[in-house]
Structure 1
Amino acid sequence: MSDVRTKYRDSRPESKENHDPSRLDFLYPPRMEMRNWIRSARKKADLTQEQLGEKLGVTKGNVSAWENGRHEPSYAQIQEISVVTKYPMPDSQPGASALATLDSKDVAERVQEMLTETGMDAAAFAAKVEIPLERVESWLKGAAISIVEAVAIQNVFGYNSAWVLARVGEKKAAIQYNDEYRPKALGKRKALAVVGMAQLGDNGFWAEVEYPVGHGDGYIDWPTTDPDAYAIECSGESMRPRIKHGEFVIIEPNHPFQPGDEVLVKSKDGRVMIKELAYKAAGRYTLLSVNETHGRITLEETEIDKIHYVAGIAKPSMWRPD
């Protein structure tokens, strides 16, 4: 490829091929061919330099500079020229590998593949990507996809832009998350009374809740909007590393809970446990321990005194005596 490199545009560094892991280097046509190709495409479409410039959103001077070899269009502009003039894209070097050939049939196949996988027709696909329907219809006829369009498709549908352009690399790009920012109000900090102790396992040890809400064995400062929130000291290792011995859990009794949440469960026989709620079915609660050495336990609804939502975990250093 050393003989090919010398024919590329002067502005591209000699080591370009060593820094092009996507293998899209072939997309940039040789300099001497480019000005002739632009002139031929324009004349074939019976356009003046000014008319071509208007269709591309550039000035007549830009087109003139391209045709005189003083400047070169971007690859996206080359594709636009091909679409506007209906003139074939300039070929890569003779003898280049099949990978380095932009095949119009393959373009149409890739676009149809995306339409099938997304379950959309051309109109819906175009609307989602926010491009004219005519562009998608032209792709289905083999017209080239611009880099800007390929990036837009990647951002909307997750298809790798290199794959969209030339079936290079993985079909799907790395997942990017753009979740809506919806902060949850934490409420004002309150002094939550530590009202008792909860055994983290179900191995015979338990402790009653000893103090009424608002009074207890010291306090934990915690932001909450639940007026009845309280704290429980935890003993045992069954939820380690999620909850460690000596830490405190913050309980919000007025907060709804669902499967997957951690909950404080007090049974009618006096046991107080912190468990993960697996599910409720047929009047039974199935509870899990994070530590796999402790199995699940199932309690009848009639055996349970109360279940409260665990809102957070506080370190021992957050405890204060009064």
Structure 2
Amino acid sequence: MSKIQERLKEVFAQPLERGVMANIARKCDVSRPTVTAWFNLPEKVASISRSHAEIICAEYNLNVSPAWLAEGIGPKLLPAGVHHVIAEHTNVEPAPDLKKSRRVPITGSVKGGDDGYLVQDNGIDGWVDYWTSDPQAHALRIKGDSMHPRYRAGEFVIVTPSVEAQPGRDVVVKLTNGKCLLKQLNWMRDDEVQLLSINNGYAPMTISRSEIETIARVAGSVGPDSMVF
């Protein structure tokens, strides 16, 4: 008799109740012959996995350690107050941890001007909650309907200057003459940048790099109810 058979027979009353092996096979997602080998065929198996032992212990409320049952490691009995947790078996990788939201300062408001440039004002106090790790992130409140339907009046765009802007993303472009644009970055070259309008009222703009002071990526937008004081 193998060690695993000794441990299984020690914790399960003999003879086994009808249906025990079939139930273990179903819960552990293994074949019935595999479970038969665990109990009865020493030449076929030397041990079971720790995760299968966890499932068996939890399913039958066994007061034994899965490490002991699977590998004979450590004490047989669980410490007082410790309960089994069934391990989930899946081929799907666990999702990465979500970034925590933080308060992003509101630094002003903007609206689209008749010439396609932003009209800015400053002095709005408050913050919005947003999921970003950019220490320079700030929010701008949208005024008016000139950026509809992409951005609606009262919403906030989140600007993340520390994150490199990529073609296809919305950006806030500050020019050397002090004007600003809220556009979509179409392409970037060594000497020129092409921007597309948020609405269809303006043709694409191709601007010399020498005229651009900064290009800041827009990470997204949040609604008016995201504002906190």
> Taking structure 1 as the reference length, what is the TM-score of the superposition?
0.38
* Structure 1: tracts of 5 or more residues without a match: 1-179
Partner Cα distance (2:120, 2:150) in 1: 23
Q: Call closer, same or farther: CA 1:295–1:196 in 2, change over 3 Å.
A: same
Equivalent residue runs for 1:243-282 within 5 Å: 243-282=151-190
Query: 1 CA distance for matches of 2:97 and 2:204?
Result: 33
Whether the 8 Å CA contact 2:111–2:147 is kept in 1: the answer is: no
Instruction: Provide the residue aligned with 2:106 in structure 1.
Output: 194
Seen in structure 2, the aligned counterparts of structure 1 residues 291 and 277 have a Cα distance that, compared at 3 Å, is same
Cα distance 1:246–1:256, how it changes in 2: closer, same or farther (>3 A)? same
Match runs of 1:221-236 below 5 Å:
221-236=129-144
Number of paired residues? 138
* 1:67 matched residue in structure 2: none
The amino acid that maps onto 2:218 is: V
Deviation by residue 1:55-100 (Cα, 9 ceiling, x = unmatched): xxxxxxxxxxxxxxxxxxxxxxxxxxxxxxxxxxxxxxxxxxxxxx
One-letter code of the match for 2:111? Q
Residues 1:306 and 1:186: Cα distance change in structure 2 (over 3 Å): farther
By relative contact order (CA 8 Å, sep 6+), the higher-ranking structure is: 2
Deviations 1:181-239 (A, max 9, x none): 8956552221111112233456266445746xxxx521111121112211111234343
Distance 1:250 1:298, change over 3 A: same
Aligned-partner Cα distance in 1 for 2:203–2:93:
37
SS in 2 for 1:317: helix
Question: How many angstroms apart in 2 are the aligned matches of 1:183 and 1:250?
Answer: 25
Structure 2 segments unaligned to the other structure (5+ residues): 1-91
RMSD across aligned C-alpha pairs, in angstroms? 2.7
Distance 1:310 1:205, change over 3 A: closer
Higher normalized helix content (fraction of residues)? 1
Selected match of 2:206 from 298, 308, 312: 298
TM-score for the superposition, normalised by structure 2: 0.52
Kindly state the Cα deviation for residue 249 of structure 1 after the two structures are TM-superposed: 0.4
User: In 2, are the aligned partners of 1:263 and 1:307 still within 8 Å (CA)?
Assistant: yes
**Higher-Rg member (1/2):** 1
Q: 1:315 aligns with which of 209, 223, 226?
A: 223
